[in-house]
Amino acid sequence: MSVFIQFKSWSGKDATVAIIQLSKVFKLKGKQSETVMDLLTQGRTWKYGTPVAEAKAGQAKVFFQKLGFKLELIPVAPSVSVVQATALAHAASSSPAPSNTISAKDFEVPGVICLLDESPEEAELNQDRRLLEIKRTPVLLVVFFLVITLGFYGIFWFLNRMEALNNLDSKSKLSPGIFQVLLISSGTLLVFRILDVFFDINFGIDLILFLVSLIVFGLVIAQAFKVRRILLDHFDANFSGLKVISGGLTLFLGIIFLQYKINGIHAWYQREEEGEIRLNGDGLAWFFAILFLFIAPVALISYSARVAFEEFDSENTFTESFAEGLQLGSYFAACEDYWKKNGDEQVCTKEKAGDSRPSYSDNPKVKVTGSGTRETFHAEAVYEGSESGLTINSQGEVGIKDGDETYVIDFDVK
């Protein structure tokens, strides 16, 4: 009889020794053995995917238990091929009985090493098709639906795949109650946003709505990580090899990244490959994550800043008012110097102000008109192409001229 060796946890004292022995027995690379240990310390399981003769597996169990591992031997399902059964029977017949005095040397000679590493014909074709019940959808279509539904498709995505995900081998399960809360909260936020943007109705609860938005976002991210946990648990229980679904990409891309991984699972089954399941690589996902989350926003902000600067430089109302005020202030300061030298009863004009200190000079884009004595002085400044402008009187009071109306600006109001 043949069995699978499944590691459930580790509570030993020397992790370094444990990692070394995992590498020797299962011919794992150092980094892979460290990853296995990390999985076990996190409460996850790891199963070696190739069946092992029960006698050899018994030896391995005794040995690894002494190192602090908790493991169990799982009988091979009847679906194992004839070639596999023949090879396993031969290995079992030539294997010694379990021993309590087993040492590391027992795994350094032909035996378990040969059986675990040098028998590719024993690779199991996994017949578990439950993963195929998770709906396959093109990633670009998921992105499109998220955009046109303002994110509501994300909730539908979870609900549409909940039954299939909950049918996998994992203690974590999706709860429909969470998505009911998300639907109600998201719908409420959308209604308030529509009232504010299209009907100018604001209830003065912007802070509350912002906090609700953060809660909704947090719940969606939490559900995405729960789906990730369900898939990883199922891989641990049913497939050989180390399976990793990036937590960073799950955080950045959410269901877009999860759908990308699910599509890869479907593609693997369609190829009818034997051995451990192969997931889509993360290189393409990281490229789009960086593109859409970093490069695209930076480019958009840069473009917006450039457009805003151009508008500010040429057409912005503040720019016009600043130029008008600068010309009026310069004109009035020059006239004050002129009156001081020539008397308050003299009429100050732009020409005379040009000879004063400080002197006045024209701005080709600002038309300045007006003159007068210290008692009657009045001038106006209008920016080129503008219908409004600024005024100044003999008291130095600045006003805004809009058509035939002039509004004096009182800078002393507190």
Measure the CA–CA gap between 191 and 77, rounded to whole angstroms: 55
Domain holding 16, by residue range, is 2-117
The share of the chain scoring above pLDDT 90, in percent, equals 16
At 251, phi and psi to the nearest 5? -70, -45
Measure the CA–CA gap between 215 and 210, rounded to whole angstroms: 9
- The answer on 72 and 145 residing in a single domain is no
Domain assignment of residue 191, yes or no: yes
Count of structural domains within the chain: 3
pLDDT at 112: 33
- Give the largest CA-CA distance in the chain: 127
- The answer on 147 and 81 residing in a single domain is no
* Mean pLDDT confidence for 279-288: 76
Question: If you write DSSP's letter for every residue of 152-211 in order, what string do you get?
Answer: THHHHHHHHHHHHHHTSS-S----HHHHHHHHHHHHHHHHHHHHHHHH----S-HHHHHH
State the angle between helix axes of 255-271 and 139-148 in degrees (0 to 180), rounded to the nearest 10.
150
Measure the CA–CA gap between 12 and 241, rounded to whole angstroms: 23
Give the confidence band of 316 by pLDDT, cuts at 50, 70, 90.
Answer: low
Burial class (CB in 10 A: 0-12, 13-18, 19+), 24: middle
Domain assignment of residue 124, yes or no: no
- The answer on 112 and 143 residing in a single domain is no
State the angle between helix axes of 176-199 and 153-166 in degrees (0 to 180), rounded to the nearest 10.
180
Domain assignment of residue 123, yes or no: no
- The answer on 52 and 183 residing in a single domain is no
- The answer on 267 and 345 residing in a single domain is no
Give the confidence band of 273 by pLDDT, cuts at 50, 70, 90.
Answer: low
pLDDT at 379: 92
Of 25 and 94, the one with more pLDDT: 25
CA atoms within 13 A on the CB side of 371: 11
Domain assignment of residue 36, yes or no: yes
pLDDT at 52: 81
- The answer on 342 and 264 residing in a single domain is no
Whether residue 87 has pLDDT greater than 50: no
Lowest mean pLDDT among 144-148, 245-249, 282-286: 282-286
- The answer on 337 and 216 residing in a single domain is no
Domain assignment of residue 387, yes or no: yes
* Mean pLDDT confidence for 360-368: 87
pLDDT in tens, 182-196: 888 888 888 887 887
pLDDT at 262: 92
Domain boundary, last residue among 117, 145, 177: 117
Domain assignment of residue 304, yes or no: no
Measure the CA–CA gap between 180 and 204, rounded to whole angstroms: 26
Domain assignment of residue 389, yes or no: yes
Measure the CA–CA gap between 64 and 102, rounded to whole angstroms: 10
Mean pLDDT of the chain: 77
28 closest CA partner among 7, 54, 12, 1:
7
Whether residue 166 has pLDDT greater than 90: yes
Domain assignment of residue 308, yes or no: no
- Whole-model pTM: value is 0.47
